[in-house]
Amino acid sequence: MVGDKEEQLRKDMLDKFNRRLAIIIVNFRTADLVCDCLHSLSPEVKAAHDQVIVVDNNSEDGSVERLSAVIEEQEWEQWATVLPQDSNLGFAAGNNIAIRIFLAQETPPDYVLLLNPDTVVQGGTVKKLIRFLDEHPEAGIVGAQLENEDHVPQSSARRYPSVWSEFESGARLGVLSRLLKNFRVSLPMTNHASRCDWVSGAAMLIRRQVFDDIGLMDEGFFLYFEELDFCHRTHSAGWQIWLEPAARVTHLEGRATGIQQARKRRGQYWYDSRRRYFIKHLGMLRWILADFLWSLGRLSLLLRTWLNLGGDISGDPLYYVRDLVWGDFYAFLKGDAQRVSVAKHLQRYS
């Protein structure tokens, strides 16, 4: 049934020409958050030229019915559609479902905006992001400045992770962090547009030609690190990545996934995605070195915590070391890590 609905939606959208902007929201049991996001988008979209698809990853909690009812009540049918799936596909594959539909149009949209369900778009943000890509033809992706409910900016422009960034993040030692400041993933915040290695997929506008050059998102990432991988591939294809601080989006970080809840055990998909990114983009040896240096830094942090020398792990996930280090070691023993490495080399030479 889902397949029939998707095919009908594709046919319907093929009849809607001159789409300027396509917006995708992937939902999994967060209907109330998505409703707030749609409300914020309502004054931003142009019904004749923009389209929003909410991909529901088999929430099975009434999300599809709730979202469909709100869209009908608010008379948003001209620009908003819910697309239910038979299983939880994850973030990358969920976005790809809608991206394929948009790209199959006779006149595909100029831009695709990815939004997390736990975001609220502030006035004028969509227009500012589009204007930025219009005025910067060398830019393939532009991200919005994320902020929390109190309008405090969140880290939004970032460097690629490296073995040294893993050492710094594992240790959390002031003197070491200062020495390795040029390797830290989070870049200093600025009030002006700036280039970076990658931006958060919570609010990321992508030029259509990027998909022509590099394809869709890597569905080997179930959740997390997929936007980092996509930005890395985009940059490798010759496109620039930018952050536009004038475009602001409230991000209720972790509300959709629960990953920010203190002392909650982090899902295995996070560790699997981290491993996949490091092997895919840094190689097996640097992945192993990154794990070693992170573990070394983490050991120093644990010692400082136990000795009351300033370490603090109160906000960390449960079983953090075991799940990361043992998970990667077990993946190596099973051959999962080697398969990622082989697939990477096969893709390079295909």
pLDDT digits over 103-133, tens only? 999 889 999 999 999 999 999 999 999 999 9
103 and 243 in a single domain? The answer is yes
Would 191 be classed as within a structural domain? no
Cβ-based burial of 340 (10 A; exposed 0-12, middle 13-18, buried ≥19): buried
Would 176 be classed as within a structural domain? yes
Mean pLDDT (the chain) is 92
The pLDDT score that the predictor gives to residue 257 is: 57
pLDDT above 80 (res 350): no
d(CA 83, CA 57): 9
User: Which residues, 6+ apart, have CB-to-CB distance to 105 below 8 Å?
Assistant: 13, 14, 16, 17, 19
Rounded average pLDDT over 295-320: 94
Would 210 be classed as within a structural domain? yes
34 and 151 in a single domain? The answer is yes
Would 177 be classed as within a structural domain? yes
Would 85 be classed as within a structural domain? yes
The pLDDT score that the predictor gives to residue 338 is: 87
Nearest to 250 by CA among 341, 116, 157, 95: 116
62 and 115 in a single domain? The answer is yes
287 and 230 in a single domain? The answer is no
Would 335 be classed as within a structural domain? yes
More confident residue, 271 or 5: 271
Find how far residue 40's CA is from the centre of its chain.
20
* Band (6; pLDDT cuts 50, 70, 90): low
3-state secondary structure at position 121: strand
* Band (341; pLDDT cuts 50, 70, 90): confident
The pLDDT score that the predictor gives to residue 344 is: 73
311 and 340 in a single domain? The answer is yes
* Band (160; pLDDT cuts 50, 70, 90): very high
Would 95 be classed as within a structural domain? yes
* Band (47; pLDDT cuts 50, 70, 90): confident
pLDDT above 60 (res 262): no
pLDDT above 60 (res 16): no
94 and 53 in a single domain? The answer is yes
171 and 319 in a single domain? The answer is yes
Would 189 be classed as within a structural domain? no
User: Which residues, 6+ apart, have CB-to-CB distance to 210 below 8 Å?
Assistant: 140, 141, 234, 237, 239
Q: Give how far Cα 167 sits from Cα of 1, 160, 164, 180, 187, Å.
A: 49, 14, 5, 9, 17
**Domain ranges, residue 206:** 2-156+196-251
128 and 245 in a single domain? The answer is yes
